[in-house]
Amino acid sequence: MASEDKVGASASALQPTDDENSKSCWVCFATEADDRLAAWVQPCKCIGTTKWVHQSCLQRWVDEKQRGNITRKVLCPQCKAEYIVVFPSMGAFVALLDALEEITHKISPFIAGGVLLGSIYWIAITYGAVTVMQVVGHREGLEMMESADPLVLLVLLPTIPVTLISAKMYNWEDSVLLFLRKYCAKIPALAYILPFGNVEGDRGAIVSGQHNNTNQTTTHHLSPTRIFCSALLLPTISTIIGKIFFRSVQNNLHRTILGGLTYITIKGALKIYHKQMLYIRHSSRKILDYTETNLKLYRSNISSNEAVSNNDSEQVI
């Protein structure tokens, strides 16, 4: 950008015909002769043609520079002197209202944040209490909580959902799967339970390398809502499974723990199986030669897929 100095120099040489004594406004360029009633001000260190300005023109310029923020400082564009803006005093009452306004403005975010945190805390406590009653039984749970120290409850109850969620963040199925892949592939008996698929040398290494990476990314990609839901639903599901399959167990807590363990084990096994199948599918994929027959086969596959989603797939073939 061209430096402003050149401009400043030419700006001060503005209107060479005007003599030094006659005022002319650097905003509207009107002179004293144009409007005898207008109020003039000399707001900065500038001399020459930018010495004088109409009070109303400068007000508008200041408004334009502040863009709605009335506390912003405005400098003279030429001499960089700060304009001395004063507001008339409106009395003590207005000053008090001003102060109140400012305090309210400042503390509102903190109050809102506090209310939000408090609400989350109380939700966590409620969830904890409901979980306790669900797990050990309604009456027993109430008795237990009534006999406990309220302070202890206030600390312990909210940790229940927190613990559930943080436990859920640890993806134990992946560790088990990796372990199985590493050590148990050699034991033939296990191959009946968990197929390992014969992936040829190089490609297998590449795919498993890739797969480790994707594994890591999928754990990162695991959606927060999914973790949240499955963690918080765990006690409920455990209770239900306990009631269905372990009716003979009398103690509520034991029954729920049994139910929970059953649920986690079955779900984990299914998940590991599914992941392993995906892994095998991925590692044994093939890219076909570009021949007429392969192409036809591929196109008819695609079009039959499209036919499922939208009905006008006839013209594709």
> Given the rule CB under 8 A, which residues bind another protein?
1-2, 4, 6-7, 10-11, 14-15, 17, 26-30, 49-50, 57, 60-61, 64, 77-78
Residue number with CB closer to another protein (61 or 279): 61
Which tokens belong to 166?
A: 């943080």
Residue number with CB closer to another protein (6 or 285): 6
**Minimum CB distance to another protein, residue 91 (Å):** 33
CA–CA distance, 286 with 263 (Å, rounded to integer): 37
Residue number with CB closer to another protein (56 or 284): 56
**Minimum CB distance to another protein, residue 32 (Å):** 14
Residue number with CB closer to another protein (17 or 293): 17
DSSP E strand boundaries for the chain = 40-41, 53-54
**Minimum CB distance to another protein, residue 9 (Å):** 9
Query: Minimal CA–CA distance to 211: which of 146, 277, 268, 155?
Result: 277
Angle at 109 between CA 103 and CA 110, to 5 degrees: 85
3-state secondary structure of 28: coil
Task: Give 118: exposed, middle or buried? Use CB within 10 Å, 0-12, 13-18, 19+.
Answer: exposed
CA–CA distance, 212 with 282 (Å, rounded to integer): 13
Residue number with CB closer to another protein (17 or 311): 17
CA–CA distance, 135 with 141 (Å, rounded to integer): 8
Residue 161 identity: P
Residue number with CB closer to another protein (6 or 286): 6
**Minimum CB distance to another protein, residue 82 (Å):** 15
CA–CA distance, 293 with 203 (Å, rounded to integer): 26
Distance of CA 57 to the CA centre of its chain: 46
Residue number with CB closer to another protein (25 or 164): 25
**Minimum CB distance to another protein, residue 21 (Å):** 19
Distance of CA 251 to the CA centre of its chain: 43
**Minimum CB distance to another protein, residue 84 (Å):** 18
CA–CA distance, 95 with 103 (Å, rounded to integer): 12
**Minimum CB distance to another protein, residue 2 (Å):** 4
